[in-house]
Amino acid sequence: MMNVNAEKCIGCGLCVKDCFVRDIELVDGKAKIKNEACFKCGHCIAVCPKEAVSTDDYNMEDVKAYNKEEFEIEPERLLNFIKFRRTVRQFQKKDVEVEKLNKIIEAGRFTQTGTNAQNVSYIVVKDGIKELKELAFEGLKNAGEYMLANLTPQTMPYKRYAEMWINMYEAFKADSLQDKLFFNAPAVVLVVSDSEVNASLAASNMELMTDALGLGTFFSGFFIKAAETNKAIREFLGLNEGQKIVNCMVIGYPAVKYQRTVPRKDAVVSWK
């Protein structure tokens, strides 16, 4: 429930004006939250100049007052940071600290979700990464063999992926260091949700935090493919019915140093 401390409230009406679902009104010069249409977005907490609004549903210790020194980023610096981001597939033989993984998840936790659903969860795989890798390679091999045995004109363009998955599996079985799936990274973070949009928004912010922490990552679409219909992977991860792995972030310390940004196609933009 959202609450208003009447002693602190000055009746400025800022929360009333900013409430998208119109769940707040002024009564006798004080804000009153009806808690009828409210979906706990927290805008009233953020906009109140007197810290008069709180909630019983979340940890209020998460709330931080704005100050320019800690909160603002120069636009050009942010843009350069985004431009310099690279997908990393070369990793050091070095563990990733739990503290850093927790910060990456925090970046996901505070990402916006539609209707404030907050329907994104995370699975961190470190100790069990070898077992998960073996299950994933097996899954890719099976998917590749099935595809090759059932080729149609529509699936023919994907034949090369089927062959690649089988070759990856065989190379890994011959030498476990020949890991073309996780590239011997020490950690994997899976972003799970019934909303692909919310999960992908979270993963995008998580990637920026990963780079800010001096780590590298890439999104493994091959793992997503391996896990799609693989019961053994779902059981290993403890996934419930309806839960979907949307993003797989392979994380570690980079064993490569990039010196500059790279070019991209011009943006296709329509101004109306």
Render each residue's pLDDT in the chain as its tens digit; 272 residues.
Answer: 999 999 999 999 999 999 999 999 999 999 999 999 999 999 999 999 999 999 999 999 999 999 999 999 999 999 999 999 999 999 999 999 999 999 999 999 999 999 999 999 999 999 999 999 999 999 999 999 999 999 999 889 999 999 999 999 999 999 999 999 999 999 999 999 999 999 999 999 999 999 999 999 999 999 999 998 789 999 999 998 889 999 999 999 999 999 999 999 999 999 99
| pLDDT attached to residue 211 | 98
Overall fold of domain 2-62: Alpha-Beta Plaits (3.30.70)
3-state secondary structure of 32: strand
Q: Cα(229)–Cα(105) distance, rounded to whole angstroms? A: 26
Distances (CA, A) of 63 to 14, 18, 43, 50, 208: 18, 18, 12, 13, 22
- Which residue ranges does the chain devote to CATH 3.30.70.20? 2-62
CB-based contacts of 119, cutoff 8 Å, min separation 6: 113, 193, 194, 195, 198
The CATH class, in words, for 78-272 is alpha beta
Q: Give the residue among 95, 97, 85, 128 at the shortest CA–CA distance from 217.
A: 85
Q: Cα(63)–Cα(201) distance, rounded to whole angstroms? A: 21
| pLDDT attached to residue 219 | 98
- Which residue ranges does the chain devote to CATH 3.40.109.10? 78-272
The structure tokens listed for 209 are 């935090």
| pLDDT attached to residue 44 | 98
| pLDDT attached to residue 245 | 97
| pLDDT attached to residue 169 | 97
Q: Cα(22)–Cα(251) distance, rounded to whole angstroms? A: 42
